[in-house]
Amino acid sequence: MRDYNAISDAALLPLLKEGEVMAFNEVYARYFRLLYQYAWNILNNEEECNDAVQEIFVWLWENRSTLEVTSLKGYLMAAVKYRLARTIQTSRRRAAILAANVELPTITRIEEDFEVKELRRVITEFTETLPQRAREIFHLSRVQHLTNKEIAALMGISEKTVENQITIALKKLRSDLSRKMLSFLLL
């Protein structure tokens, strides 16, 4: 019996194309959490994230024999990205239909846009204050959605160091956001 856990993605692809269920199960085990986290960072909706990721895996299994993939991880991440784009587009259509029936006050939209821009500005300013290595780790984790293990391998440091750097950065960010948002609200 094969140890699918020890097989590389490149070696799993032909097995998947041949219809080996265990190869598919290994792909699912390797990538479900990563794809779900990626979807969650975009949608923040458990049901829609689960649906999107499950649809990708169903499609992968149904179309396994015709796959032309060089990077399994890249392919799956792109598939989730496009699936989420469809979900967001559908949600926007729904929202547009609702907005046509119930017009929200313009001032509320302006305030919301301003708050989002202000939040982005504060986060950007905060990340610029981090030391270079901490900034890189934070960017890889929160923008590129890499796992601690992937970041550690990429930067040649331990996973514990990555975890500590992210924890410290997030604590500082929360503190910074609390102070700046409080002063912003008092204006």
How confident is the model at residue 90, as a pLDDT?
79
Say if residue 52's pLDDT is above 80.
Answer: yes
How confident is the model at residue 34, as a pLDDT?
94
How confident is the model at residue 102, as a pLDDT?
53
Question: Which segment of 33-42, 138-147, 178-187 scores lowest on mean pLDDT?
Answer: 178-187
Residue partners of 166: CB distance under 8 A and separation at least 6: 137, 138, 141, 148
Say if residue 44's pLDDT is above 80.
Answer: yes
Count of all residues that appear for the chain in the document: 187
Pick 146 or 25 by higher pLDDT: 25
Contact between 154 and 144 (Cβ < 8 Å)? no
Query: Tokens at residue 166, please?
Result: 């992210």
Say if residue 104's pLDDT is above 60.
Answer: no
* Confidence label for 184 from pLDDT (cuts 50, 70 and 90): low
How confident is the model at residue 113, as a pLDDT?
64
Contact between 76 and 82 (Cβ < 8 Å)? no
How confident is the model at residue 107, as a pLDDT?
53
How buried is residue 137: exposed, middle or buried, by Cβ count under 10 Å (0-12/13-18/19+)?
buried
Say if residue 187's pLDDT is above 60.
Answer: no
In angstroms and rounded to an integer, the radius of gyration of the C-alpha atoms of the chain is 21
Give dist(CA 71, CA 76) in Å, integer. Answer: 9
How confident is the model at residue 22, as a pLDDT?
95
- SS in 3 state form for 51-96? HHHHHHHHHHHHCHHHCCCCCHHHHHHHHHHHHHHHHHHHHHHHHH
Give dist(CA 166, CA 139) in Å, integer. Answer: 10
How confident is the model at residue 59, as a pLDDT?
92
Domains of the chain and any CATH numbers: 1-103 (1.10.1740.10), 104-187 (1.10.10.10)
Give dist(CA 70, CA 88) in Å, integer. Answer: 28
* Confidence label for 173 from pLDDT (cuts 50, 70 and 90): confident
Give dist(CA 96, CA 53) in Å, integer. Answer: 26
The model's pLDDT over 124-172, given as tens digits with 9 standing for 90+, comes to: 788 888 899 998 888 888 878 888 998 898 889 999 999 999 899 888 8
pTM: 0.50
